[in-house]
Chain A
């Protein structure tokens, strides 16, 4: 009797699960039967709180603007609605994993905007391949993120466009370079230990000093004095946002006055707290309001109109990611998970113009030329 009851309960659970997971008549976007559903559900599994909330919140705003435009234009059909559902990873790897599982478990979710940090993204990347849910990562510039047919990345890895910084230093006549880098931040570790030394050597520059720090380092007075003492022609500074603000002030206090170049982490106003100490700082960005391309400019104006503030590179990520998904759906004519995957790959093969300008792809991974900007009195200007 007990066994029969258990068997009955198990059967009911299976049937119930199947019913929950089934399509309710073709209205959902994840059916896989072809065609574009009237409501397409996209999950955003990114930090809405925590240490890198600025990236997730910025991407949310960009994605929302893109959805407005897609719906207003009737890009996917007059009555097609895109529903953006947000899941907060709160800066935690375990939470990213569980929230991704939750999003992937929802059969109505057609595609996902994946976590912004490399550690989180690399952890969920194999899950994405197993569950076969097309996932577009923003930021997450390290290795181990784009690993299978269902993983895509809209933000080009920093090392793919960092050569422009070294070109700038070469043009400035720089011969000797110091490197100060956060060795526990994967993107900066790769740049500081491999890419920058290689790029410098190609241009006949000498790395005279390489100073690694850890994520918890808050005081840079020791490193600043070592850098000032060496007095190299330029400093490549690869630090997270609060570290950069401190390092710039302490470098000035230590008497270092030569050119400092940094990374896109300093964009989005993150360096504003450094005040005058940040003047003259040069860094590469995938997007800046200073960019003059037609599509970048149009994005900046639309964003300003909607949110009454200037867009950040993170907003550009979300905007381009959502438009990439929309183009993918239109291209394959299918809003199912498989249809979107095919469409994303097809669009990647062709490239497109977006908020970041002309975007091409290496497989499923975006590439751009990158723009070099100079921070001066609270504003970015293009370095010609």
Chain B
């Protein structure tokens, strides 16, 4: 049971991180490799502010969420939007956006590395996590917050995309951007909004993960980008519900490997599992057979 609880915490961390990436990639077609740097730099700004003045839990969260939204919007404005304008079509823009994202990511990474000398950083906060023991299971308040937040955000975003007007418009862009624009969908405004929401999610994940781990390093985001990429592909590109399931499947596989004391095989086993699933179902767990983003 304790392993299930650990898997739920880890899965929620992967989910919070992957949600923003999945939202942007699955709707406006941008595979944003700067998402990891946005995540890290949001936490880094929280660290810098909390170094000057001790902040409560929510104070750190708000700063990180706002920072993430601002960085992500700026990335759209200064990097992706110009690339999209200069490219003949979405397909031509994809590779340029991917490289552009890697380039953008290098800037906050270098800034944080320079400032911290690549040492780990955390928050000076009045929040002190407590440990609860229920039926022999140990859980911290941070883990509980992460599990609840992960599930709420995952299910909420899935429902919003399926049921709200804006969600429908976003999905329409994912299916056929030209037709959607012809039907009156404001692509540019929706793209900026989506990037801002994704950045805010990255900031939220950055702050929560830093509280959970005690500290992160400037490179932490880079490692999570690979996991998020795997989660999205495993769940099925375009399916938010698939992303939710993919995050918990990956975390479950990793937790199982750790519980068997095969610590050095975590990546090999979990990514091997993904490979096997994709052999049987190339579109991912909840992806559609037809290659369409919805």
Question: Given A50-B118, A218-B223, A253-B129, list of 16 further CB < 8 A pairs?
Answer: A53-B114, A53-B118, A54-B119, A183-B263, A211-B263, A212-B264, A214-B263, A219-B9, A219-B10, A221-B9, A222-B255, A241-B120, A241-B217, A246-B213, A249-B214, A273-B121
* A219 touching B213, Cβ below 8 Å: yes
CB of B223 within 8 A of CB of A216, answer yes
Q: B179 at interface (Cβ–Cβ under 8 A)?
A: no
Task: Indicate whether B278 reaches chain A with its CB closer than 8 angstroms.
Answer: no
Closest 10 A/B residue pairs (Cβ): A273-B215, A222-B258, A242-B120, A249-B214, A242-B217, A54-B117, A245-B215, A246-B213, A273-B122, A213-B263
A217 neighbours in B (Cβ, 8 Å): 263, 266
Give the residues in chain A near B10, CB-CB below 8 Å.
219, 221
* Interface assignment of A84: CB less than 8 Å from any CB of chain B: no
Residue of B nearest to A247 (CB): B214
Interface residues of A in 241-290 (CB under 8 A from B): 241-242, 245-246, 248-249, 253-255, 268-270, 273-275, 277
What residues of chain B lie closer than 8 Å to A381, measured between beta carbons?
Answer: none
In the complex where A218-B220, A222-B258, A273-B122 touch, is A246 in contact with B214 (Cβ < 8 A)?
Answer: yes
CA distance in complex: A216, B36 (Å): 14
Closest to A269 in B: B119
Residues of A within 8 A of B (CB): 49-54, 57-58, 183-184, 211-214, 216-219, 221-223, 225-226, 241-242, 245-246, 248-249, 253-255, 268-270, 273-275, 277
Query: Would you list 26 pairs from A and B whose C-beta atoms are within 8 A, ordered by A residue?
Result: A49-B110, A50-B118, A51-B219, A52-B118, A54-B117, A57-B117, A211-B261, A212-B263, A214-B263, A214-B264, A214-B266, A216-B266, A218-B223, A219-B10, A221-B143, A222-B258, A225-B2, A226-B261, A241-B217, A242-B120, A246-B215, A249-B213, A253-B140, A255-B138, A274-B215, A277-B214
Q: Is the interface of B mostly helix, strand, loop or mixed?
A: helix
The minimal Cβ–Cβ distance linking B108 to chain A, given in whole angstroms, is: 13
Residues A183 and B117 in contact, CB atoms below 8 Å apart = no
| Distance of B178 from chain A, by nearest CB (Å) | 41
Which residues of the partner chain A approach B176 to less than 8 Å between Cβ atoms? none
A-B contact count (CB 8 A): 106
Q: Which residues of chain A are near B6, meaning CB under 8 Å?
A: 219, 221-222, 225
Please tell me if the beta carbons of A213 and B215 are within 8 angstroms of each other in the complex: no
Q: Chain B 1-34 against A: per-residue CB contact (8 Å), 1 yes, 0 no?
A: 0110010011001000000000000000000000
Contact present for A216 and B267 (CB under 8 Å): yes
Contacts of A212 in B (CB 8 A): 261, 263-264
Measured between C-beta atoms, what is the minimum distance from A306 to chain B in Å?
17
- Say yes or no for B78: interface residue by CB 8 A criterion: no
In the assembled complex, the CB of B134 is this many whole angstroms from the nearest CB of chain A, namely 14
Cβ–Cβ < 8 Å partners of B120 in chain A: 241-242, 245, 270, 273
The answer to whether B234 has its CB under 8 Å from any CB of chain A is no
Check: B181 CB closer than 8 A to any chain A CB.
Answer: no
CB distance from A316 to the nearest CB of B (A): 16
B216 touches A (CB below 8 Å):
yes
Smallest CB separation, A241 vs chain B (Å)? 5
Does B113 contact A50, Cβ atoms closer than 8 Å? Answer: yes
Does B259 count as interface, using CB distance less than 8 angstroms? yes
Residues of B within 8 A of A253 (CB): 129, 131, 138, 140
Closest to A184 in B: B264
Given A222-B3, A273-B122, do A245 and B263 touch, yes or no (CB 8 Å)? no
Tell me the bound Cα distance from A211 to B264 in angstroms.
9
Instruction: Return the chain A residue nearest B268 by Cβ.
Output: A214
Instruction: Kindly report which residue of chain A lies nearest to residue B137, judged by CB atoms.
Output: A225
| Chain B proximity of A224: nearest CB distance (Å) | 9
Measured between beta carbons, the chain B residues less than 8 angstroms from A242 are 120, 213, 215-217, 220
Within 8 A of A (CB), among B102-145: 110, 113-114, 117-122, 129, 131, 138, 140, 143
Query: CB-CB < 8 A to B219: which residues of A?
Result: 51
The answer for the CA separation of A54 and B114 in the assembled complex, in Å, is: 9
Rounded to whole angstroms, the CA-CA distance of A138 and B164 in the bound complex is 59
Q: Which residues of A have CB within 8 Å of B113? A: 49-50, 53
